[in-house]
Amino acid sequence: MYTKIIFPDTGIEEMKITDILVKEGDKILKEQPIITVESDKTSIEIPANQNGIIKKILISIGNKIHKGDVILEILNNEKKKIELKTLRTSNIEAKKIKVSDILIKKNNIIKKNKTLDLETYIHASPLIRKMARKLEINLKNIKASGLKNRITKEDILQYVKNEKNFKNNDFKTFSLNYKKFGSCEEIILNNIQQITSKNLSNNWKNIPHVTQHIETDITELEKFRIKKNNEFYQKKQNIKLTLLSFMIKICAHALKKYPNFNSSLSNDNKNLIIKKYFNIGIAVNTPKGLFVPVIFDVLHKSINNLSEILRNIVNKTKNNKLHPNDMQGGCFTISNLGQFKGSFFTPIINAPEVAILGISQSSIKPIWDGNKFIPKLILPLSLSYDHRVINGVEGINFLNYICTLISDLRNILI
């Protein structure tokens, strides 16, 4: 009669439950997200694998969860709808708990024998409840504007803006009292943004970064790329080569030539682990935060194939469809800011990798050929590396080798 929905294999041994997106009595559909979980590197939504009506939720926010653990039980027999409706009604009634002889301290006044309405009575998501707890707001005081009297983030913010709701220093989120200088708004970072912030901070503090910059001529490469794309278009082939697809392939060859860049330090920092495979991560910015999906076995893939894989994995990332396995096993990362104005930047190493390449926007510049200035399309590159593993000479040699391959792709064959 009842079916269990279990936690799938995410490729991560243990994850933390950060949000429960459904409640008992809800009707759910296959592929509908039911919980949000996170590890130290990622946050993902776990979908239901079948339709049904939720009988019982067996996990709580903050729990650790592993492969095979039961998330919830559902009823997927349509004949039992009436029974479930009755069950849901009884569950709601059970939430009204008469609490006797409970002492409630507030403003030094003791109140006894008070009937408490549990917070579960209030229609609000786990994220909204977390937000309210952080701001020390009683959700019963919030006027709900959402569907079915649900409290929304905008309702919380509107309540916060009403200064009379806060006395003295109750507005603890503005602990430095920024409000005295003008109006302020606090935005709660989502799980991915918090994880990214923590990881980048740790990487910057723990890795001695060195960043070297170089400009490279991509005039011929760009002519070749445009020519091939025109040929694909004429042949009605669904292929579109990008500069990034060429850079991914070029970086794989550079990693092969300079193996220290394709390494990681052991946990005790006493050994260097040289990798014999070539997997490259691509930093992808989304409204939810920064993700770094990995393209595997780059050295043995054609540029056409890489272009297709790149397009698919970027779409997958932006549609929140990444699996944790998609972000593991990287050897080297590329951060591409080529669509934005800017010359150089310092990309932060994605540990346990030891190097990362930043790509900035290309521009036409006059280059002296010995007789005259010639307009060339110049691409700025920024290479950050772990100085415990790589020295300055290796860094500039690595960059110059990339420039050599860019100037003439036939060098890849040598």
Between CA 22 and CA 45 the distance in angstroms is 12
Between CA 158 and CA 143 the distance in angstroms is 9
| Active site members | 387
SS3 116: strand
Residues 6+ apart with CB under 8 A from 136: 170, 172
Q: How many CA atoms lie within 13 A of 312 on its CB side?
A: 11
Among the listed residues 275, 413, 285, the one whose alpha carbon sits nearest the alpha carbon of residue 353: 275
Spell out a b/e string for 201-223, using b for 16 or more CB atoms within 10 Å of the CB, else e: eebeeebeebbeebbbbbbebee
Residue type, 37: V
Between CA 164 and CA 144 the distance in angstroms is 18
CB contact at 8 A, 305 and 297:
no
What percent of the residues of the chain are helix, what percent strand, and what percent coil, each to the nearest 5?
Answer: 35, 25, 40
Q: Which residues is 65 bridged to in the sheet? A: 15
Output the CA torsion sign for 82, 84, 86, 88: negative
Residues 6+ apart with CB under 8 A from 227: none
Between CA 29 and CA 330 the distance in angstroms is 34
